[in-house]
């Protein structure tokens, strides 16, 4: 095992704002460990929309300065003792916790999962947070059944492509939405039954046509503000509006009586609360890895950006220029 340096490269913010507040540093301290932690040397860092929320201030940062990033894949290079869930030095792990935008992260062992030897590290890196989000949404937020009509917004996005593929594996009939012909084609290839370009089509009319006027039993909506009303409108009676993100901005407060017309259910879940216990985290990760291997789910990687170019990565994600997963290479 190579020796561990005392300083490292990383990206932090000390105030909120646009991508200009992202500070790339080459002299951050490598963190010390406390009991129950692993020091992970990250190979690939996942970029997620939530990183932009912490940067912009939509979600409050726990402290300043704050190293951004919520997931990565890497190698355990040191352990802090205590309960380590069987993880040890040399293991390849994927993890979801704080401070991923760095070469080294002190990760609570409870938040790390061993990468199966059959899964390439880059695929594991591109799968965990968005894959677990999609899996827990279709299992728990609205347990989707074979034959169900469902709608997925931003179907060619990182989380959207996982949803589309998992829903196909379950046997659901998925209507996707996307903003360009290229994204429409990609979501169809991933297994959506129909994909509507919501830049130039009447989504309400098209959903009514496809579902013989019934609507969909669930909408998975990570777009938020700009799609909320549409999502409620295309629901079937007793359907579930699963609002799980704010890509277009946060959904304003909702008058609860708006749900009455259809006896609709409204949920605002986060993946962290579905994988809160070690048993849940391990079981869902195993199910996700099994899906990838058994059903050939594709962890589509949009690109691997140098960590030093994190601003470009976030601008591409926020600018709707990407499809699938964005990764950062901490060595560059
Ligand atoms: N609740 C959770 O636990 C959880 C976990 C993971 C992700 N999420 C949420 O899931 C959503 C998707 O995240 P992701 O990382 O997978 O991103 P992504 O879907 O790869 O990118 C966002 C997509 O949203 C669409 N979009 C529509 N209006 C937009 C706007 N005004 N600005 C930017 N994008 C817009 C774009 O697709 P089109 O161009 O096709 O419209 C864009 O490509 C985010 O809201 C994120 O917060 C939530």
Q: Pairing mode, if any, of strands 92-96 and 173-178? A: unpaired
The reply to whether 162 falls in a domain is yes
Least Cα distance to 326 among 166, 154, 307 occurs for 307
* CA 226 to ligand 1: nearest atom: 28
Least Cα distance to 90 among 51, 38, 129, 135 occurs for 38
**In terms of domains, do 181 and 267 share one?**
yes
Q: Ligand 1 pocket test: which of 139, 275, 320 has the largest number of ligand atoms within 8 Å of its C-beta?
A: 320
The reply to whether 288 falls in a domain is no
Predicted confidence at residue 1, as pLDDT, reads 60
Residue 215's SS3 state is coil
Q: Ligand 1 pocket test: which of 46, 137, 153, 157 has the largest number of ligand atoms within 8 Å of its C-beta?
A: 157
Phi, psi of 70 (to 5 degrees): -125, 0
* CA 271 to ligand 1: nearest atom: 3
Q: String of b and e for 94-132 (b: at least 16 CB within 10 Å)?
A: bbbbbbbbbbbbbbbbbbbbbbeeebebbbbbbbbbbbb
**In terms of domains, do 304 and 264 share one?**
no
Q: The domain that contains 313 carries what CATH number? A: 3.90.180.10
* CA 50 to ligand 1: nearest atom: 47
Name the token pair of 45. Answer: 């860092």
**In terms of domains, do 157 and 246 share one?**
yes
Cα 49 to ligand 1 centre (Å)? 6
Name the token pair of 48. Answer: 């997620």
Name the token pair of 223. Answer: 């777009």
Question: For ligand 1, which residues put their CB under 6 angstroms from it?
Answer: 48-50, 129-130, 133, 154, 156-160, 178-179, 183, 222-224, 226, 244-248, 269-271, 317-318, 320, 322
Name the token pair of 195. Answer: 């994909």
Name the token pair of 13. Answer: 């913010």
- Side-chain-facing half-sphere of 283: CA atoms under 13 Å: 9
Q: Which residues of the chain, if any, have pLDDT below 70?
A: 1-2
Predicted confidence at residue 100, as pLDDT, reads 98
Query: What's the CA gap between 102 and 61, in Å, rounded?
Result: 17
Least Cα distance to 22 among 324, 315, 317 occurs for 315
Domain boundary among 230, 253, 272: 272
The reply to whether 292 falls in a domain is no
Residue 129 Cα distances to 61, 124, 126, 155, 326, angstroms:
19, 10, 8, 16, 12
Q: Please name the residue whose Cα sits nearest to atom 9 of ligand 1.
A: 245
The reply to whether 29 falls in a domain is yes
**In terms of domains, do 139 and 110 share one?**
no
Total structural domains in the chain?
2
Predicted confidence at residue 286, as pLDDT, reads 97
Q: Please name the residue whose Cα sits nearest to atom 8 of ligand 1.
A: 245
Question: Do the beta carbons of residue 329 and residue 44 sit within 8 Å?
Answer: yes
Q: Provide the residue range defining the domain that includes 144.
A: 130-272
Q: Please name the residue whose Cα sits nearest to atom 21 of ligand 1.
A: 157
**In terms of domains, do 95 and 185 share one?**
no
* CA 244 to ligand 1: nearest atom: 1
**In terms of domains, do 96 and 176 share one?**
no
pTM of the model: 0.98
């Amino acid at each position: 095992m190579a020796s561990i340096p005392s300083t490292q490269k990383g990206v932090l913010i000390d105030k909120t704002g646009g991508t200009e507040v992202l500070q790339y540093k080459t002299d951050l301290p490598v963190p010390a460990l406390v009991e129950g932690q692993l020091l992970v040397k990250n190979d690939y860092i996942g970029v997620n929309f939530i990183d932009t929320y912490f940067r912009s201030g939509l979600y409050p940062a726990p402290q300043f300065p704050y190293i951004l990033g919520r997931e990565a894949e890497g190698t355990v290079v040191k352990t802090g003792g205590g309960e380590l869930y069987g993880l040890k030095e040399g293991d390849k792990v994927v993890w979801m916790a704080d401070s991923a935008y760095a070469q080294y992260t002190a990760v609570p062992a409870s938040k790390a999962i061993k990468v199966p030897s059959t899964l390439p590290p880059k695929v594991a890196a591109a799968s965990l947070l968005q894959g677990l989000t999609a899996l827990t949404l279709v299992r728990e937020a609205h347990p989707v059944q074979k034959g169900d009509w469902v709608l997925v917004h931003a179907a060619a996005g990182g989380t959207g492509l996982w949803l589309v593929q998992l829903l196909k594996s379950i046997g659901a009939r998925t209507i996707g939405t996307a903003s360009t012909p290229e994204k429409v084609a990609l979501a169809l290839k991933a297994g959506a039954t129909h994909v509507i370009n919501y830049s130039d089509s009447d989504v309400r009319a098209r959903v009514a046509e496809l579902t013989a006027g019934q609507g969909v039993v669930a909408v998975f909506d990570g777009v938020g503000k700009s799609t909320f009303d549409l999502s409620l409108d295309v629901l079937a009676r007793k359907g579930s509006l699963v609002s799980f993100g704010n890509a277009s901005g946060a959904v304003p407060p909702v008058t609860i009586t708006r749900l009455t017309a259809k006896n609709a259910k409204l949920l605002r879940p986060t993946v962290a609360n579905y994988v809160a216990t070690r048993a849940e985290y391990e079981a869902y990760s195993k199910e996700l890895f099994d899906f990838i291997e058994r059903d050939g789910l594709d962890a589509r990687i949009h690109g691997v950006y140098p960590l030093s170019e994190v601003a470009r990565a976030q601008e591409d994600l926020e600018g709707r220029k990407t499809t699938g997963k964005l990764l950062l290479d901490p060595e560059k």
